[in-house]
Structure 1
């Protein structure tokens, strides 16, 4: 474990949006967006463009415009308390969940459990080898849930990759018993159409409902056929998880959803959802579904009901995730421009594309509407070799304010204020310099979440980070505690 210090860096802010039509078109022609590129993809051949990127990155480091390779910088109100590098699991680090004194960290090779009772010195409790793309993770009581979004030879943790064109291939949800944190036991698996890119829990006393988000069907895939215009809902009995099963596949897009190009150039065609966030205390959910943003009721968790649907066919390329504010009168949607595999935090892309979209929720009941207010994007410039994209974050629970911490891959961790929906602003940050100056590299925080007084970040390449923010605007949150946190199942921190 290492605890690192900062070096001051002169940072210019990104200016007005540049045209960059050619680069933007290149990003959008790269194919369907994914949370990260396939780890098996081969490195790109070195080109004149990569030579230019290396020269520009080197010059920016020398001028102090961006940090040096792997150099850590942060705002004065952020303290870097700890870093735990990867150990047995060497795949891409992914999402995080929390329960009591434990943090659960997903990895393409499985998951890791940390004891965070001393945030300055996290201890590894267990590492479970269970390969499968994504391994999006959440916990509820004695159960841990793990998403598999890559075609496997079977549903075991010793499976191997197998083409999705083969009927016998498997992908979906895995369930573990974590009553003994040092010895998790694999107890159930449920295959779902097109796998499970992400999932969201809707817990009840006797059961846990799991909303499974997946996308990109193909006529060539026996278990992932178009149209794939909904989500899989799994019912998991807490006392008998081996009886878990799919109980519904609600159609969310009766009209097929956003058609994408050529009708809407530069926008992903909707073929499912990427991520869903629920606010059980308000019976609400927000869906980020490729080309569409959704607001829906979950009063009946097996039969969600669409309340409103929005699109942004000018600046949003891929609706990636959603976050409610505490009062449930706003939603922040993120845009994963470039599919999580491109440098999009620079002058060429500008401040609106690849940004967060802030929407107010106006009206009452089933007549509520999502009304766009503004965009937010980090304005700290990143090298053209740094994959930078809006990714997973959570609210920071402070009464009367709307504060959020968010991961931006190599853009680092951003703390920002959207209390005024029309004038969001960053109030703190933490980031590392580029991993490389000679090739585009995927690294940086996949998830950054606030839990019981600290910010925890799962860096794709560098490991598990713990941060503390000391700021009069965020300090009241230090007194707020929760026993369990799956960020896509947002707690009501103040109505208990």
Structure 2
């Protein structure tokens, strides 16, 4: 059922008084989860108090929040389709696109969908190849997967194995997808601390893969501290079997943000979580745990940090980044609680677990990042719903800055940051809580705009959305042959 009679700003007052079990205190006094890096680390259900359960049930009855399984949208958003999970039952993760195909990572492998008819997508193939997160990108006939969980070897038949064992493997996998019905595994490259996420930076003959990983430990033979940068893998386009590690690029010679003993939720920097490259500008923006950075990538094998910022007050975990189309703004996200916490409520507020908008300003020959404002969805979620800022992309509208973005069980938010000081939501899609009695992991991991529609990797399957709004309608005329959100194209 779809409900659109209530404006977003008036919905979701749930969570104002529900502080019975101190969920926020627990969230802010423990080290955050590592952005759900491994299935074993996904939070177990936490029993809520009877008062919290009663509040959720009351909110559902009153219409403040949708019931479990119910869909709610703003009046300008339509839910066109859902393709439930098939053989791969793990966590759905990131998305990539090429032609009439969408590619979805899953902790158990990846899925290829035919999206020629967005209202009737169909599964083309499912590849079983376990290894969290299986963050995914495509380039021509190649598909790249990130593996950030220790495996017994680099094959798709590997089993989980402790990182303390020297023989354990984690890193980057490369597939040939020239036949979408039967992808072929062609190469594997081991990288220090694995590959939590990755970013493609195209060269003339090769693809450079910037590998983001973190959380080193003295007991991990292949993930020793200090881990102050990124691994760079070179993938020859016409000989991917020769893929190799070319160097480890140090980005934080001073060690990066050291953390704050009085604020344990603020994660020290020991690598990067995600990097978004903008090849047309020869720049990249990095979200690196405790630091936000700008990189000069004019020499892909030797990226150079040209600006670095911190948010000592509000950001706990710098998670991802998105440029405006003109490159004059960067939206950084804060994944407070690692994706497993209930942070979209009045207790946490609207400046934590949010987006931060920065202007990219030129001071002589130097680039500077200047903070402007925060954006967080205005729809408070139940304390049984994990919710925080997560993966999104620009909607390619000329003259405006509009994003679509996932918020786990907070759903999909369409928001306008053309006025950097006054960002606001213009549409939304969400489901009711996965569970009304206890905190349970679920919701949408990534939501990206591609060739006229929005595709969302929800834990309920692939969702397809359509926004009909005068502010975004012109984007429907923009067509791309390929799209990886972490390799941002310039839209003319």
TM superposition score normalised by structure 2: 0.96
Q: Deviations 1:129-165 (Å, cap 9, x if unpaired)?
A: 0001100000001000000000000000010000000
Query: For residues 264 and 11 of structure 2, what CA distance do their matches in structure 1 show?
Result: 29
How far the C-alpha of 1:23 sits from its partner, in A, is 4.6
Superposed, which structure 2 residues align to 1:305-324 within 5 Å?
305-324=304-323
Do the aligned partners of residues 108 and 330 (structure 1) sit closer, same or farther apart at CA in structure 2, a change above 3 Å counting? same
Identify the residue that residue 483 of structure 1 maps to in structure 2. 481
User: Do 1:9 and 1:66's aligned partners in 2 also have CA atoms closer than 8 Å?
Assistant: no
Q: Deviations 1:311-335 (Å, cap 9, x if unpaired)?
A: 0011100000000000000000000
Superposed, which structure 2 residues align to 1:415-454 within 5 Å?
415-454=414-453
User: Do 2:42 and 2:340's aligned partners in 1 also have CA atoms closer than 8 Å?
Assistant: no
Identify the residue that residue 363 of structure 1 maps to in structure 2. 362
Query: For residues 180 and 468 of structure 1, what CA distance do their matches in structure 2 show?
Result: 29
Do the aligned partners of residues 91 and 366 (structure 1) sit closer, same or farther apart at CA in structure 2, a change above 3 Å counting? farther
- Unpaired segments of 5 or more residues in structure 2? none
Q: Deviations 1:256-311 (Å, cap 9, x if unpaired)?
A: 11111216553101111000000000000000000100011100000011111000
Query: For residues 38 and 28 of structure 2, what CA distance do their matches in structure 1 show?
Result: 17
Do the aligned partners of residues 300 and 73 (structure 1) sit closer, same or farther apart at CA in structure 2, a change above 3 Å counting? same
What secondary structure does 1:374 align onto? Answer: strand
- Unpaired segments of 5 or more residues in structure 1? none
Do the aligned partners of residues 406 and 97 (structure 1) sit closer, same or farther apart at CA in structure 2, a change above 3 Å counting? same
User: Do 2:198 and 2:210's aligned partners in 1 also have CA atoms closer than 8 Å?
Assistant: yes
How far the C-alpha of 1:217 sits from its partner, in A, is 0.4
- 1:30 has 2:30 as partner: yes
Do the aligned partners of residues 491 and 36 (structure 1) sit closer, same or farther apart at CA in structure 2, a change above 3 Å counting? same
What secondary structure does 1:106 align onto? Answer: strand
Identify the residue that residue 462 of structure 2 maps to in structure 1. 464
Query: For residues 391 and 45 of structure 1, what CA distance do their matches in structure 2 show?
Result: 21
Query: For residues 54 and 100 of structure 1, what CA distance do their matches in structure 2 show?
Result: 45
How far the C-alpha of 1:205 sits from its partner, in A, is 3.2
Identify the residue that residue 472 of structure 2 maps to in structure 1. 474
Q: Deviations 1:197-223 (Å, cap 9, x if unpaired)?
A: 000000123100000000000001000
What secondary structure does 2:249 align onto? Answer: coil
**Which deviates the most, 155-164 or 258-267?**
258-267
Query: For residues 243 and 365 of structure 1, what CA distance do their matches in structure 2 show?
Result: 42
What secondary structure does 1:27 align onto? Answer: helix
* Equivalenced residues, count: 489
Aligned CA RMSD, in angstroms, stands at 2.1
Superposed, which structure 2 residues align to 1:161-200 within 5 Å?
161-200=160-199
Do the aligned partners of residues 383 and 46 (structure 1) sit closer, same or farther apart at CA in structure 2, a change above 3 Å counting? closer
User: Do 2:4 and 2:74's aligned partners in 1 also have CA atoms closer than 8 Å?
Assistant: no
Do the aligned partners of residues 215 and 83 (structure 1) sit closer, same or farther apart at CA in structure 2, a change above 3 Å counting? same
Do the aligned partners of residues 123 and 267 (structure 1) sit closer, same or farther apart at CA in structure 2, a change above 3 Å counting? same
Superposed, which structure 2 residues align to 1:68-83 within 5 Å?
68-83=67-82
What secondary structure does 1:339 align onto? Answer: helix
Do the aligned partners of residues 171 and 45 (structure 1) sit closer, same or farther apart at CA in structure 2, a change above 3 Å counting? closer
Superposed, which structure 2 residues align to 1:289-368 within 5 Å?
289-363=288-362, 366-368=365-367
Query: For residues 338 and 51 of structure 2, what CA distance do their matches in structure 1 show?
Result: 23
Do the aligned partners of residues 438 and 224 (structure 1) sit closer, same or farther apart at CA in structure 2, a change above 3 Å counting? same
Do the aligned partners of residues 259 and 41 (structure 1) sit closer, same or farther apart at CA in structure 2, a change above 3 Å counting? closer
